[in-house]
Amino acid sequence: MDKLTKDQKDEYATSLAAIALYDGEADISSEQITTLLEATGNKEVAAFYPIIFANFLTAEKIGQMIVAPTCGGGGGGGGGGGGGGAGEAEEEEKEEEEEVEEAPPAVDMFGGGDDGDY
């Protein structure tokens, strides 16, 4: 936390206050966020942060972010899928077979047919 700028700390505190209000099923308004910030000792947060966050972070939007986060993540490797799901493997094989069947016929590299003119 020491490496964060004041703005970053204000944003962090305000977003946590909004999430706490959501978790407590309270109204997410700028007044409620400000009250919670003051109650937790964050009295120096810029006054515009609770207003911006209250306008953006409605209960529905917070719920959507919790269920399906949209932030980008960096490249971790995909681990092997653990056990179970033998039926899924069979379905995948069937899908692959269908894709192969739908592929167009191969064309000779030089555009010719089977004339044997090589």
The tens digit of pLDDT for each residue in 61-78 reads 777 777 775 656 555 555
- Distance, in Å, from the CA atom of 43 to the CA atom of 21, rounded to the nearest integer, reads 17
pLDDT at res. 105: 58
Contact 54, 15 (CB under 8 A): no
Indicate if the pLDDT at residue 111 is higher than 70.
Answer: no
Of residues 2 and 14, which shows the higher confidence score? 14
3-state SS string over the chain?
Answer: CCCCCHHHHHHHHHHHHHHHHHHCCCCCCHHHHHHHHHHCCCCCCCCHHHHHHHHHCCHHHHHHHHHCCCCCCCCCCCCCCCCCCHHHHHHHHHHHHHHHHHCCCCCCCCCCCCCCCC
Q: Are 42 and 13 in contact (CB under 8 A)?
A: yes
Section 16-38 average pLDDT:
86
Show the tokens assigned to 108.
């000779």
pLDDT score at 89: 60
Check residues 96 and 5 and name the one with the higher pLDDT: 5
pLDDT digit string (tens) for 40-56? 888 888 888 888 888 88
pLDDT at 90: 61
Structure tokens at 20: 């706490």
Question: Residue 96: what pLDDT?
Answer: 58
Q: Residues near 42 by Cβ (< 8 Å), separated by ≥ 6?
A: 10, 13, 17
pTM, two decimal places: 0.52
Q: What is the pLDDT of residue 99?
A: 53
Residue 83: the pLDDT is 59
